[in-house]
């Protein structure tokens, strides 16, 4: 079965904003054994959507349409579908009641524009929305299935899975194996896995992700990448670290300079992290390093804020303040300014203290400021992973 994806949204078609739904949808389809033939993005204009639906259905068996189901004037996807299929729109009574109740609880007027979010094509099956107000639906005509979803990624994703379940594409009959690694260069990973066939690689500040399309090669890839692998699914490093901390009943705190709170913020990204994350100090100024973390003035003078010694004293300061089992610290030059010939932009010292054991790592990473900061936060979190696994 061939799948087509149609994204509506003038902001995407005109390049003002990057669409991200299509790749989420494509992945979900792929995992269910469905081939994505194309992605088409058109404007929020009724006739454009109508025309796009018509030609798109000529090129696929299942069409996913996403966007334009909200309450504003440019949400015209329902009307366009109604014309494209020559099918009436009806209110879904159950959803209408649900919306009425939701809005009355919040003392918000239930306007006609808001009621439109309960409209679906006659003879369609509703897909309820667990995260938002717009109803989705599945519509079948001439052996072609159209799945209609809102544009908000979180809503659309879970509704697409519901729709596929409804259509019988429940089981993941094809799995892409994913190996998320940190600590190896792209070229190293590439040469390690290139003989295993049908793999592809994605590189970011978070590391190198290897996707293998054939399960036969998965065990070989596992073997060559070894301890560099931090996840076998789309888990983020902070989730992996969170699980380890929870398993071992350990607490964590940070003392950050260059990363500026990014490390602790990523730890807190994980729901339930209050069980193990005590907090952090962002000592961006030297004054804060001294006053709050107790870094010695002499240390800053003799070695500089970006030094092994400062990183060490930052660790000790955060340990004293939080009493956490594990403490992370970083100090560095994210750039673009602030570098010298001795201490170039990109230079970082990253420290980890596990109980009473301190280790400091020197890392030079030269990229855009916030790319570098993300990389350094990943480096720090990876140290926790390695220490605990």
Instruction: Kindly tell me which of 124 and 335 has the beta carbon lying closer to a second copy.
Output: 335
Among 128, 363, 369, 386, binds a second copy (CB under 8 A): 369
Which positions from 48 through 107 interact with a second copy, judged by CB under 8 A? Answer: 48, 51-52, 55, 59, 70-74
Among 101, 154, 247, 389, binds a second copy (CB under 8 A): 154
116 binds a second copy (CB under 8 A): no
Tell me how far, at minimum, the Cβ of 153 lies from a second copy, in Å: 10
* Contact in structure between 292 and 283 (CB atoms under 8 Å): yes
Which positions from 155 through 194 interact with a second copy, judged by CB under 8 A? Answer: 176, 186-187, 190, 194
Torsion sign, CA atoms 242, 245, 248, 249: negative
Binding residues for a second copy, rule CB under 8 A, total 93
User: Residue 172 and residue 113: Cα distance in Å, rounded?
Assistant: 38
Instruction: Kindly tell me which of 78 and 124 has the beta carbon lying closer to a second copy.
Output: 78
Instruction: Kindly tell me which of 38 and 302 has the beta carbon lying closer to a second copy.
Output: 38
Among 373, 376, 378, 380, binds a second copy (CB under 8 A): 373
User: Residue 384 and residue 327: Cα distance in Å, rounded?
Assistant: 9
Torsion sign, CA atoms 276, 282, 283, 284: positive
Among 86, 142, 271, 341, binds a second copy (CB under 8 A): 271
User: Residue 48 and residue 311: Cα distance in Å, rounded?
Assistant: 58
Site string for a second copy, 313-332 (x = CB under 8 A): --------xxx---------
Under DSSP, is residue 57 helix (H, G, I), strand (E, B) or coil? Answer: helix
Which positions from 120 through 139 interact with a second copy, judged by CB under 8 A? Answer: 131
Instruction: Kindly tell me which of 126 and 153 has the beta carbon lying closer to a second copy.
Output: 153
Report the alpha-carbon angle 292-296-300, nearest 5.
105
Tell me how far, at minimum, the Cβ of 123 lies from a second copy, in Å: 28
Say how many CA atoms lie within 13 Å of 287 toward its Cβ.
Answer: 0
Maximum distance among all Cα pairs of the chain, rounded to whole angstroms: 79
261 binds a second copy (CB under 8 A): yes
Nearest by Cα to 35 from 48, 24, 26, 47: 26
Instruction: Kindly tell me which of 148 and 345 has the beta carbon lying closer to a second copy.
Output: 345
Report the DSSP beta bridge partners of residue 209. Answer: 180, 202
Site string for a second copy, 206-245 (x = CB under 8 A): -----x----------------------------------
282 binds a second copy (CB under 8 A): yes
Among 165, 215, 359, 368, binds a second copy (CB under 8 A): 368
Strand order across the 199-204 sheet:
199-204, 207-212, 177-181, 229-231
> Residues near 11 by Cβ (< 8 Å), separated by ≥ 6?
17
């Amino acid at each position: 079965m061939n799948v087509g994806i149609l994204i509506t949204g003038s902001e995407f078609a005109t390049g003002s904003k990057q669409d991200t739904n299509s790749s989420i949808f494509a992945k979900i389809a792929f995992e269910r054994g469905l081939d994505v033939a194309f992605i088409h993005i058109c404007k929020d204009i009724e006739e454009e959507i109508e025309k796009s639906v018509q030609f798109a259905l000529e090129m696929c068996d299942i069409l996913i349409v996403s966007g334009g189901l909200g309450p504003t004037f440019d949400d015209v996807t329902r009307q366009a579908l109604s014309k494209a299929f020559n099918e009436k729109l009806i209110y879904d009574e159950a959803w209408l009641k649900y919306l009425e109740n939701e809005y009355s609880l919040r003392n918000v007027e239930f306007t006609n524009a808001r009621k439109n979010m309960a409209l679906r094509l006659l003879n369609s099956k509703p897909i309820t929305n667990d995260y938002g107000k717009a109803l989705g639906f599945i519509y079948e005509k001439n052996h072609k299935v159209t799945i209609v979803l809102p544009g908000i990624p979180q809503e659309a994703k879970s509704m697409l899975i519901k729709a596929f379940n409804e259509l019988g594409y429940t089981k993941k009959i094809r799995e892409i194996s994913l190996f998320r690694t940190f600590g190896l260069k792209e070229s190293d990973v590439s040469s390690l896995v290139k003989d295993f066939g049908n793999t592809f690689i994605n590189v970011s500040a978070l590391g190198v992700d290897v996707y293998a399309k054939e399960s036969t090669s998965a065990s070989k890839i596992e073997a060559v990448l070894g301890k560099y692998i931090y996840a076998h699914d789309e888990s983020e490093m902070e989730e992996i670290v969170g699980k380890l901390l929870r398993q071992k009943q350990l607490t964590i705190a940070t003392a950050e300079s260059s990363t500026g709170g990014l490390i602790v913020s990523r730890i807190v990204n994980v729901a339930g992290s209050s069980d193990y994350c005590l907090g952090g100090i962002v000592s961006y100024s030297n004054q804060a390093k001294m006053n709050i973390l107790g870094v010695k003035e002499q240390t800053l003078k003799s070695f500089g804020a970006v030094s092994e010694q400062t990183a060490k004293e930052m660790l000790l300061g955060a340990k004293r303040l939080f009493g956490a089992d594990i403490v992370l610290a970083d100090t560095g030059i994210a750039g673009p300014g602030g570098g010298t010939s001795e201490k170039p932009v990109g230079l970082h010292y990253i420290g980890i203290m596990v109980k009473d054991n301190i280790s400091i790592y020197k890392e030079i990473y030269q990229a855009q400021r916030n790319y570098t900061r993300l990389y350094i936060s990943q480096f720090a979190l990876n140290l926790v992973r390695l220490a605990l696994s």
